[in-house]
Amino acid sequence: MRIPLLDLQAQYLTIKEEINQAIQNVLDSSVYILGPQMKALEKEIAAYCGTKEAVAVANGTDALVLTLKAYGIGPGDEVITSPFTFFASAETVAQVGATPVFVDIDPITLNMNLNQLEDKITARTKAIIPVHIFGQMLDVERVMEIAARHGLIVIEDAAQAIGAEYRGRKAGSIGNAGTFSFFPTKNLGAYGDGGMIVTNDEHLADQLRMLRFHGCRTKYYHDEIGYNSRLDELQAAILRVKLKFLDHWNQGRREKAAYFDEHLPQSITLPGRDPNALPIYHLYVLRTKNRKDLMDRLAEGGVASAIYYPVPLHLQKAFRNLGYKTGDFPVAEKACEQALAIPCYSELTIEQLEWIVELINKGE
Ligand SMILES: Cc1ncc(COP(=O)(O)O)c(C=O)c1O
């Protein structure tokens, strides 16, 4: 039995007719950039998240860069984030000329440890980027309280968490802004790149719309140096179809995750849950001391698995200049040694689930 980490083909087959029609409609319209599909998707995502505004951009990385820029964050400023995330969460801080500052993660949820957050705040700190890792939200209300005490901006990196909730509030909707990625493997994935910012701050939304289009509000009149960062009509049309199924797919992932939680052996550390969070399992990441053996055993049985993440951000070559060393964030470092993602998506069959569990149980 061959089980990929994610089966985009199986998902496509369930919505093929609607997707093909949506693509055909865009081709028939011959409108490709900044058109009605993108605008409709912005409205639908804002409604889905419960925010006033949503601004579509070219990818999740740009969503962070443009938001940082719009808030005027740049050289001399510090932005606090997690060392256990995809590179873009901190890369974007450096891209705007600011300095990423890391805070270690919670050993249960692997999200930023909020008990240590305030210690990292200095006179230079301008913003906090909490990341909802693997699709489980952290307590952004608490981050907002800390931020309010110090006059800081909070940008939720919700790239992996669209549809996730914390005490009934949606990912992206609690901070000053929230950013999403529509990279194909995300829970709401385009068939190419895409990204979005959600916010209740209308001034921010206006700034973002200006920045994504060369600093322009009126064609050929440029108020600022901006970017070329738009979500094209084909991707927007595809995402509009897929958005209708997002809750169903997320629920499917939760059901598969519950199966693993129940059937995996004691020797495996299951993904840690915050009882206030409703996760969407962008990835089901277990932890084991025998990761290499487990990966080999799964591969021999035809099951894909992947390491998220092999290197914490503070030890990345690109951040050598920040002066961090091994031992600075021990929880993140240990997670990088033990974390392993196994397949967890709506289309998995019971036979596939049983096979994955059997392979894992074999060696434990
Ligand atoms: C946590 C996180 N932040 C940011 C990004 C960047 O998104 P994109 O790949 O769409 O630029 C990703 C995804 O790749 C991510 O997982």
Cα(130) to centroid(ligand 1), Å: 13
Is 0.95 topped by the overall pTM? yes
**Is the pLDDT score of 80 beyond 80?**
yes
Rg (CA), the chain: 20
pLDDT at site 202: 98
Q: Note the pLDDT tens digit of each residue in 187-239.
A: 999 999 999 999 999 999 999 999 999 999 999 999 999 999 999 999 999 99
Per-residue confidence (pLDDT) for residue 206, from 0 to 100:
98
- State whether the beta carbon of 86 lies less than 6 angstroms from ligand 1: yes
Mean pLDDT computed over every residue of the chain: 98
Instruction: Give the percent of the chain with pLDDT over 70.
Output: 100
Neighbours of 214 (CB within 10 A): 16
If you measure from the C-alpha of residue 88 to the centroid of ligand 1, how many angstroms do you get, rounded to a whole number? 6
What pLDDT, on the 0 to 100 scale, is given for residue 57?
A: 98
For residues 90 and 101, give the distance between their C-alpha atoms in angstroms, rounded to a whole number. 8
Distance, in Å, from the CA atom of 344 to the CA atom of 285, rounded to the nearest integer, reads: 9
Our answer on whether the CB atom of 284 is closer than 6 Å to any ligand 1 atom is: no
**Angle between helix 233-243 and 8-29 (nearest 10):** 130
User: Nearest-CA neighbor of 151 among 45, 269, 71, 60?
Assistant: 71
